[in-house]
Amino acid sequence: MTNEPQPSEQKPKLFQAIGILPGKVRFDSESNRAFVKIQGKEYPLKYAPHQKGMRAWDALKLELGENGSKELRLTVYPQVLHFPGRDKTHILGFSLVGFAPINGEDNSSDKDVFTAQDFEFKVCGLWQFIPVCRTPCISVFRNFNEETKARIKPLDSGRKLRFMKAQHLPLIWKDALVPPFRFNPKLSPIVELMENLFEKNEDLEVVGKLVPSSTWYRSLCYQTEKSWSRPRRVVTKVCYGSEGLKIRHVVTSLPAAKISPSKLYTDKYCPRGEMENRLKEQHLDLFADRTSTQTFHSNQLRLWFSSIAYVLMQAFPQHCLSKTSFSQATVGTIRLNFLKLGARITVSVRRILIAITSACPSQDILSIANNRIQAIPDTG
């Protein structure tokens, strides 16, 4: 009696996004790019980053030729490019997997061929909100097995991050059984996967970008037990990301009908905090509190000097440090990097030479600032 090997059962894919896309495909040989036209609008068409997708891409170029176009039925992966600001809409594209069989053809013998109706997609993933999209998305991550984990484990953190990057597909699901997730849940399989892929002594700052931070604003009515005589409106900011959960509260008398929670926090409260930062610069970095002389006029003169220095410190980054890494620097940072420098002073008959040390870490930006100062026209 012989033991015949049992066929291994293939586990269903937890994350998947694939569909059938019919349309007029156009290939541009100059840019080596392809486009698919659907209902009068063109979408970019790329090749899927695996061997099967590259073969399909080569076959597509042979089918269309140089600068050719043809009606085709394709099997594609949907791809969506999001932008940091919510005001800018996302860009939809597709990755070519292969040529879909024409309706009526029998492909039951080929188990690898995805069969579906035109414009029919199969999407499996996490339905959740992401910070860069107002519409809830289906987040499609990579499917991992032992072979995949062993292949990417020796890679550096940057390549691991690109390999594990998810696709977030906007979806309006009107008859959904459950609402979309408001926060990214801590899934134990993902945590276990991270522990297997990344070493203990490896820099994991780049891993935090895999799960983007989410920020939400809510209003609530709150009253303390003793100190408050009545309930008051409290605006709560909730941030959840790789660094954990952060909650901040702001008490306000403005009604909810007059201003939304997000606008109250960002347009009212944050500028107030920014104003306090400017006062702190004047007080700590420019010593506006040094009024310890005996007469009023001498103290007033000191405050004038501090105010003049503040005006100069505000004009210096605006005119001399724009489009540099110090364009948003505080007064303390500017004093430390551009004013408190070690130098050798040589006095001769005709001139005074100031030679700054060659070890100055900001000498390139200091040179740019010096050239811009000399280019400012003399208003006197």
One digit per residue, the tens of pLDDT, for the chain of length 380 reads: 445 445 445 556 678 899 999 989 888 877 778 889 988 899 998 876 666 667 777 888 787 776 678 888 888 889 998 887 666 788 899 988 888 876 555 555 555 677 888 889 998 888 888 878 888 889 888 887 778 778 888 887 777 777 778 889 998 888 887 788 775 444 555 555 555 655 555 555 555 555 566 788 888 888 888 888 889 999 998 887 767 778 889 999 998 889 988 899 999 998 888 888 888 888 888 888 888 888 999 999 999 999 999 999 888 988 888 888 888 888 888 888 888 888 899 999 999 998 888 888 888 888 888 888 888 887 65
pLDDT of 96 reads: 86
pLDDT of 223 reads: 87
Closest to 53 in 3D by CA, of 137, 136, 112: 112
- Strand partners of residue 232: 222
Q: How far apart are CA 69 and CA 257, in angstroms?
A: 55
Q: What's the burial of 151, exposed, middle or buried (CB within 10 Å: 0-12/13-18/19+)? A: exposed
Question: Strands 244-252, 343-347: parallel, antiparallel or unpaired by DSSP?
Answer: unpaired
DSSP assignment, residue 25? E
CB 21 within 8 A of CB 79: no
CB 45 within 8 A of CB 32: no
pLDDT of 145 reads: 76
DSSP assignment, residue 11? P
Tell the CATH topology of 214-280.
Answer: Pantoate--beta-alanine Ligase; Chain: A,domain 2 (3.30.1300)
- Interhelix angle for 296-320 vs 363-375, to 10°? 100
pLDDT of 296 reads: 93
Per domain, the residue ranges of the chain are 16-104+113-210, 214-280, 286-375
Output b/e per residue, 342-361; b: 16+ Cβ within 10 A: eeeeeeeeeeeeeeeeeebe
Q: How far apart are CA 290 and CA 229, in angstroms?
A: 41
CB 131 within 8 A of CB 238: no
Tokens, residue 167: 């696709």
> Where in the chain does DSSP place strands (E)?
16-28, 33-38, 41-47, 69-81, 91-99, 121-124, 126-130, 133-140, 167-170, 214-222, 232-241, 244-252, 343-347, 352-356
pLDDT of 5 reads: 47
